[in-house]
């Protein structure tokens, strides 16, 4: 029978040493205020206190971002990433982003707030582009005999009305808006990934997505790694990983049946919306 040699006794001063703490900000789900969920989504207003708490942890060797988002609002993506960078620069604290299933579109924008982006080999990253989708009902209401009445002050106020045929001037305006947002997205990636991008811009910025392994090869990510094992390897096996914004449990005792059912329906619709975005990415 082979026995392992006894481990060396722990030095007495180790019992008094403070364990390092790495605060973790979870950024999971759709980005933006979602009416179907009572306005709940990833927004700066909803995350600001958690971000402040993360950077307020004294002597933390780093702040970690756990990202699992298919995207959403470009504005909220920029605001959240901007707030993280402002505090990181002020506190001189490195930020590590760990991508779980997906960091696409606005989700990747959030990842660029980090100094280093680590991924799983099968994570999905990229989608550096802008999309606008909807439906057209012009022929449907005509078949139903419904008359559409719209009165505006301003020739573009009924821009892209889904109950009217598309107009060339509306599509031109949409292209202009998308171009401006896309340009801002590209500026963010260029600035935050300066010197690390290894593929032509026409490939990087055309809206496609890559696996984590491929994202490392082309410079959209820095390496492969899982949050806890990476933090233990860098800061010691006794590092404390502290999530500053854990999911809140529902207080069922304080909710009436009607409110509970309404919340369940809203949650289901929001999940369908998120599922549709993830389906586009093959997830």
**Residue 165 is part of which domain span?**
129-187
For residue 236, tell me if it sits in a domain: yes
Tally Cβ neighbours within 10 Å of residue 125: 26
For residue 134, tell me if it sits in a domain: yes
- Tell how strand 95-104 and strand 209-211 pair up: unpaired
Q: Are residues 35 and 88 in the same domain?
A: yes
Q: Are residues 121 and 142 in the same domain?
A: no
| Residue-level pLDDT at 258 | 53
Quote the CA–CA distance of 181 and 163 in Å, as a whole number.
26
| Residue-level pLDDT at 107 | 97
Q: Are residues 40 and 119 in the same domain?
A: yes
Assign 245 to helix, strand or coil: coil
pLDDT in tens, the chain (283 residues): 445 455 455 554 444 557 899 999 999 999 997 654 444 689 999 999 999 999 999 889 999 999 999 999 999 999 999 999 999 999 999 999 999 999 999 999 999 999 999 999 999 999 998 877 767 666 776 677 777 777 777 766 766 667 677 778 878 887 888 889 999 999 999 999 999 999 999 999 999 999 999 999 999 999 999 999 999 999 999 999 999 998 766 544 444 555 445 455 545 555 555 555 555 555 5
Q: Are residues 242 and 252 in the same domain?
A: yes
Q: What φ, ψ does residue 194 adopt, rounded to 5°? A: -55, 130
CATH number of the domain that residue 74 is part of: 3.90.226.10
| Residue-level pLDDT at 110 | 98
For residue 13, tell me if it sits in a domain: no
Q: Are residues 66 and 158 in the same domain?
A: no
For residue 218, tell me if it sits in a domain: yes
Q: Are residues 103 and 118 in the same domain?
A: yes
Q: Are residues 96 and 114 in the same domain?
A: yes
Q: Are residues 118 and 218 in the same domain?
A: yes
| Residue-level pLDDT at 144 | 75
Q: Are residues 152 and 120 in the same domain?
A: no
Q: What φ, ψ does residue 195 adopt, rounded to 5°? A: 80, -5
For residue 199, tell me if it sits in a domain: no
For residue 242, tell me if it sits in a domain: yes
For residue 42, tell me if it sits in a domain: yes
Region class of 94: left (phi > 0), else alpha (psi between -120 and 50), else beta? beta
| Residue-level pLDDT at 166 | 76
Q: Are residues 120 and 150 in the same domain?
A: no
Q: Are residues 236 and 105 in the same domain?
A: yes
Q: Are residues 172 and 245 in the same domain?
A: no
Reported in sequence order, the residue ranges of the chain that DSSP labels E, i.e. its strands, are 21-28, 63-69, 95-104, 116-119, 124-126, 209-211, 223-224, 240-243
For residue 203, tell me if it sits in a domain: no
Domain count, the chain: 2
> pTM value?
0.79
Q: 137 with 143: CB under 8 angstroms?
A: no
């Amino acid at each position: 029978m082979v026995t392992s040699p006894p481990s060396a006794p722990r030095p007495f001063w180790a019992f008094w040493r403070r364990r390092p703490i790495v605060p973790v900000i979870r950024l999971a789900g759709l980005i933006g205020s979602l009416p179907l969920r009572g306005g709940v989504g990833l927004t700066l207003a909803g995350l600001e206190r958690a971000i402040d708490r993360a950077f307020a942890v004294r002597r933390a060797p780093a702040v970690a971002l756990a990202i699992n988002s298919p995207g959403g609002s470009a504005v909220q993506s920029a605001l959240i990433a901007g707030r993280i960078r402002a505090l990181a620069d002020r506190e001189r604290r490195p930020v590590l982003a760990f991508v779980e299933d997906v960091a696409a579109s606005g989700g990747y924008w959030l990842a660029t707030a980090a100094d280093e982006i680590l991924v799983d080999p099968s994570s999905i990253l990229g989608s550096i582009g802008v999309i606008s989708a909807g439906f057209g009902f012009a022929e449907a209401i005509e078949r139903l005999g419904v008359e559409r009445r719209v009165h505006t002050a301003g020739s573009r106020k009924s821009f892209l009305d889904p109950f009217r045929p598309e107009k060339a001037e509306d599509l031109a305006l949409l292209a202009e808006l998308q171009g401006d947002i896309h340009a801002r997205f590209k500026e963010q990636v260029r600035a935050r990934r300066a010197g690390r991008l290894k593929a032509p811009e026409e490939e990087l910025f055309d809206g496609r997505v890559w696996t984590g392994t491929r994202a490392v090869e082309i410079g959209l990510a820095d390496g492969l790694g899982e949050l806890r094992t990476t933090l233990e390897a860098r800061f010691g096996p006794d590092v404390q990983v502290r999530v500053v914004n854990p999911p809140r449990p529902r207080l069922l005792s304080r909710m009436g049946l009607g409110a509970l059912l309404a919340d369940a329906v809203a949650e289901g619709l929001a999940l369908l919306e998120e599922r549709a975005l993830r389906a586009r990415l093959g997830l």
